Amino acid sequence: MSTPSLKVIVAITSPIAFEKLDKKTILQTTFAVAHAFAIETSLDTHLAIAVSAADAGKVSDLNCELLICDPHSPSSLAAAIKDGQACDLIAIHDCQRPLTRTQQFHRTVEGLIGDVDAIRPAAAFTETLKAVTKDNIIEKTIDRNSILRISTPQMVRYSAIDFQGTGSNWFVPLKANAKTATVEADPESLRVNSVAEIGLMESFVHWQQSIAR
């Protein structure tokens, strides 16, 4: 049996990707983790970046396949994947999760076994969550057990992508009969949602460098 080919895509979902985190940009840090995983895995792997046409010039120094699309649009990203280099498996990683470690990549791809078509990391939601009306009145407390924190990379079989689909809560549309699953997400796989959060993220970087590794 031949080794499956895997395309590891770093999706640039915000200009925050080009902000500095410690001594590198968030994109450089995230891409380095994806590159490390590509070296570690036994799969036939190559790297790609999903980037808008407006930002394509900012990633020209990275030696990888460029998927010019709207990374926020599942149908646009799926079309770019279809037009790109052929592969059996797709791993899509949000660029704004720079502290994700290669162990999470390995855990995700290892979960794509049997008849599972798509898998992503998830963690329990631990905070108290309230439903609020349009008048800012607390309506009820939402059961935290019904909510998960979804992380990346998302691992998807090429054959499970619905290239005619549009909306999706995955990075790409999945076929109606696709079987999905989750694996455990590491707590440090945090998403940088604003420039104001970068300082907090830097403290986690130093923690990883001094303790976690």
Average pLDDT over all residues of the chain: 89
Residue with tokens 């590198």: 24
For helices 26-40 and 102-110, angle between their N-to-C axes, nearest 10 degrees = 50
pLDDT, position 198: 85
What are the Cα distances from residue 107, in Å, to 82, 104, 114, 213? 26, 5, 15, 18
Supply the range of the domain harboring residue 74: 5-212
206 band by pLDDT with thresholds 50, 70 and 90: low
Residue 32 CB contacts under 8 Å (≥ 6 apart), including other chains = 24
Q: How many domains does the chain have?
A: 1
pLDDT, position 19: 93
- CATH number, domain containing residue 40: 3.90.550.10
Does 176 score more than 90 pLDDT?
yes
pTM equals: 0.88
pLDDT, position 141: 61
Q: Of 85, 123, 126, 88, whose CA–CA distance to 107 is shortest?
A: 123
pLDDT, position 21: 87
Q: Name which residue leads in pLDDT, 45 or 204.
A: 45
pLDDT in tens, 183-197: 999 988 989 988 888
Q: Strand pairing partners for 123?
A: 149
Q: How far apart are CA 53 and CA 127, in angstroms?
A: 38
- Selection from 88-102, 120-134, 145-159, 198-212 with the highest mean pLDDT: 88-102
What SS3 state is found at 51? Answer: strand
pLDDT in tens, 78-136: 999 999 999 999 999 999 999 999 999 999 999 998 899 999 999 876 555 656 777 77
